Structures are given as structure tokens and as C-alpha cells.
Structure 1
Amino acid sequence: MAAAIVLLATGCASVGAAPVGEGALSTPAAVATLRSEGHEDPQPGTTQPFDRSAHSTTNPASIWVVINKTHPIDAAYRPAISLVRGYQVAVPAAGPLTRLLADSDGLGLGFKIASAYRSYGYQASVYGNIVAASGQSAADRVSARPGHSEHQTGLAADLVTPASPGCDFEACFARTPGGRWLARNAWRYGFVVRYQPGSTAVTGYSPEPWHLRYVGRPLAAELRRTDTDTLEQFFAINGGDYP
């Protein structure tokens, strides 16, 4: 969430290469790298229906869990953790995030993790600081109340580009080379840009083009294929504002 300006850890190395445009993955070398990692484009003509019951949407340990303002997570929940560039990430997302960062480094995008796993208590602190600074109504548009944050699952990560920080945690991040690349390619690694323009009424949050959520490549590819912006819409799960 936007409150990720408060970092959980340090130790991320910046990349000095100049940013590249969203078309970088059309180069043979980049495509070959993705395919060697098992990130081929979906095959056209596939007729087997997608199994929407393959993973739970309510178990916080599931990669398909839906956490929003109407579906909270237990305060005591803590995922199995692995470290990615010094940040705590749920184990299922760690390898894919590592590959995404490595491939984007090779393209000169220079992403760094700004926030990943956040405990219930840490989220309470982040949210409370925003409420104190901006009021609860404003805070609820950009930050989750404790117990309602995807970051507590460890499956979400916020990325920034320190070499060009002007749009970090701002809507204009979507128009930067890094933001455009994530919008076009995050699905290849099993991630979705969780909070999209035009979906605030569904997700409850303003657009966040820097906020990635791991769902696994099959679901990420299916969301892309069906042009579905949110998990709530795909699984017919209530979203919106707090009750």
C-alpha cells in the first residue's frame, strides 16, 4: 500500500543502467530468458476450463487468498518467510519475485523493494501514522487498517525506482518505464498489479501501480486472458468499503 514509504528492511542494491521502455521484452535475449524460466506466453486455442477452486480464497496461506476491507486476516497470522534482497516475503512468492527483479535489473529498470511482509502490529503503526497526518477518511483510501492488509500475507510487495523517484508511490508511476513494464509483464512471474485504475469501488483502494500481489502464474495468466482487473471480480467476492 502507499504507506510502504516506511521500509521494513534495507540492503537492496540499486541499478545504474538507464531505464528502458515497455517494449524491451521483444528482444530475443529477453524473451529467451523468460522462456528458459518457464514464462512462455499462454498458448492460443486452449480449451480446458480454468479451475477456480484449485486454491482457497479464504485461507491466508493460500496464494489465492482475497484480503480486502470486507475480508480480514487473523491478527496472529504470520506466513512462512524467505528473504528477497533483505525483505521478508512469503515463501511461494520469493522465487518468482527474485526472478522478476533479476530480469528487470538486466533491462536497466532498477527496481527496489520498498515493502513486503508487514505484521498486524506493524500495519497498525503505519495506518495510525497516516490517520494522524491526514485523517481516517484519507487514510482509508491509501492504506489498509490492521487486519485488512495483503502485506500481512507476505504475498504483496511494493516496488520503487530510486534512480527516478519522482513517481514513487504516486499514480504517475504507471507511466514510467518501470510501471509500464510491470503492467505488461508482472503476470509472467505470477504477479498482478492488484489495485487498478477504475477498480476503486471494487477493491476499496486508489490505484497503486507499484503494488504487486503474487497469485501464481496460472491465475495471473488467466486474469490477463480474460481482461479481469481484480480478484474480487474473478472470484465473485465482495469488496468495496469497510462494513
Structure 2
Amino acid sequence: MLLFIILSATSLVRGKLPFFFNKVVAGGIEEEGTSVINDNTPTDKDNELSNVDNDGEKGSIENPRNENTNKDPQGGKDGGDVTKSNEKQLIEDVDDILIVVNKKRYLDSNYKPNDLVVPNVKFSFDGEHEKKYMRQEAASALEELFNQAKEEGIYLYAVSGYRSYSTQERLFKNRADRVGEEEANKLSARPGESEHQTGLAMDVTSQSAKFDLIEGFGDTEEGKWLKGNAHKFGFIIRYLKDKTDITGYSYEPWHIRYVGKDGAEKIHNEGITLEEYFGFE
């Protein structure tokens, strides 16, 4: 016992904690050799091409909460109730179709919409996959959008809709392993910060874009039609050109997000982002 006290005192004098304190970290005790992230990674891998959307998925041919909850403004449209957690905000009202998810406003790891369905539209790939799903209201609107496009000789293909937290976790980790975490954070959404987890977003492509997710899609006949008509069905082009400083992501003409017809019309007509719509600039 005397030896134990002497060793502890010596460590403190040297400005070090005794060895038995070394694994104590903020929020609890971390066991040596134990990962703090559970591996829920699916065994199947996504088909990959050369271009990647901001959530880390390649185009394919096939915190602790506190008690203070704040409502966002905009006349009852609040973009999702949030609970502040450090500099980021945990979204509470997850079922609001006007929910704002970005690098500052995130979803709980356990969140999964309870009304996911597969829209009856053409996909750029075959087979069953979670990314075929959308929330029911958004899926119905997507069907109307695709049907109208077809009537006008525009053929669109859905690429990626709902994406679970664990899938996004895997995609971000894979990207970070390849290019480093700092660079990955510029191009990909961290788990919980992806719009795809809401089930309200869909990536869209066309044959002229080689069924890929590329900026050039915005210059195609299909991309131009989508930009000019998506709002009529309640969708917006979520990541606009020259709005990176607001959205946190580069231009993505293929990424549409369902917000309902009223919100979509205002956002489209004013050329603003979802963040600007709620004053989150």
C-alpha cells in the first residue's frame, strides 16, 4: 500500500496521471483495444462508379441531449424541432417533411422513417436495396414527377433514396480511409447528417448522363427539365450552384428533396436553399 502511494505521488509530481487513470475519457471509461463504434456494416457492397454524391455513395447502374428544445421560426414551419448539443443540433421533430438536415443539424442514429415504400418508377439498377425506398408521401410525388416527365419525352431514373445511419457510417468511413477525414468531410455527409436518412431525398439520373451522378447532368435535357419542373411536384434541387457556403455541399443537380408543393414553389421561385427558407444562413 505504501509503495502504491509513493508511485502515485511520483506520477503526479511529474505531471502525469497514475497508469490506472490513463483510460478515463470524457463521458466514461474507454477499454483499451475496444472500438467506440459498433460495426453494423452490411455485408453487401454498393456497386460503384467513378462519381460520388455528397453522401459518399457512388452513382450506380443497378449526443447527448439536454432539456432545452428550441423551435425554429417561419410561421409554424420549423424545419424540425431540435435539441442543442454543443455546436450541432439534434433534430427532434423527425417526421416533419420540411426537416432540415445538414452538417449542423443531425438525426439520431436510431431514426428510421416508419412509412418507407418503394416508388413505382424506373431505377438505374435491378434487385432489392434499401436505397429504393422513400417515405410514402415523397414516393407518391416522385411517381407523379416521373410520369409527367415521361409524357413530355423525358426519361428519368432513380438512383438512391433512403439510406440508413449504418450505411452512411460505412460510406463515410470508406471515404475517410481513402482520402483522409478532413477531405471526406468536404465531400461526404457524416452519419446522421445525410438527407437520405430522412427518406425524403432521391438522386436522379438519365441515360444521357450514363446513369451516373455528375454535375454534367444539370446540362442535359433531363437535368434542365428536372430543374424547371421538380417544384411542381413538391421537390427542390437541394444543393444549388454557388450556394456551397450555405448548404455545406457542392452543386448537385441530381439530388432532389421533397418538401411539399408550397415550400418547393417558394424556394424555386426565389432561387434559395432550404436553409435560407428558414433563415439558417
| TM-score interval, smaller chain | 0.7 to 0.9
Equivalenced residue count is 195
Q: How does 1:30-49 map to 2 (within 5 A)?
A: none
User: 1:213 and 2:266 equivalent?
Assistant: no
How far has the Cα of 1:110 moved from its partner? 2.2
Counterpart-to-counterpart distance in 2, 1:91 and 1:83? 8
- In the TM superposition, 1:1-243 aligns within 5 A as 1-2=53-54, 3-5=56-58, 52-58=74-80, 59-79=93-113, 80-85=115-120, 87-161=132-206, 163-166=207-210, 168-225=212-269, 227-238=270-281
Quote the offset at 1:111 in angstroms: 1.4
The separation in 1 between residues aligned to 2:181 and 2:213, in whole angstroms, is 19
Structure 1 residue aligned with 2:5: none
- For 1:100, what is the secondary structure of its paired residue? helix
- The one-character-per-residue Cα deviations of 1:3-59 (angstroms, maximum 9, x if unpaired) are 33265x95xxxxxxxxxxxxxxxxxxxxxxxxxxxxxxxxxxxxxxxx933443122
In angstroms, what is the RMSD of aligned CA positions? 2.1
Q: 1:164 Cα deviation (Å)?
A: 2.1
Q: Does structure 2 conserve the Cα–Cα contact (< 8 Å) formed by 1:119 and 1:152?
A: yes
* Change over 3 Å in CA distance of 1:179–1:137 after alignment to 2: farther
**Bigger relative CO (Cα 8 Å, ≥ 6 apart):** 1
**In structure 2, what is the Cα distance between the partners aligned to 1:185 and 1:90?**
21
Contact 2:164–2:197 under 8 Å retained in 1: yes
TM-score, length-scaled by structure 1 = 0.74
Distance 1:56 1:105 in 2: 35
Supply the AA of the counterpart residue of 1:72.
Y
Unaligned 5+ runs, structure 1? 11-50, 239-243
* Identical pairs, percent: 34
Larger Rg: 2
Q: Deviating runs (4+, > 4 A) in structure 1? A: none
Cα–Cα, structure 1 residues 167 and 140, in superposed 2: closer, same or farther, change >3 Å? farther
Residue 82 of structure 1 and its aligned partner are, at CA, apart by 1.3
The CA deviation at 1:109 is: 2.6
**Partners of 1:6 and 1:126 within 8 A in 2:** no
Q: TM-score, normalised by structure 2?
A: 0.64
Measured against aligned partners, the alpha-carbon deviations of 1:78-108 in whole angstroms (never above 9, x if no partner) come to 1121111461001220110011112222333
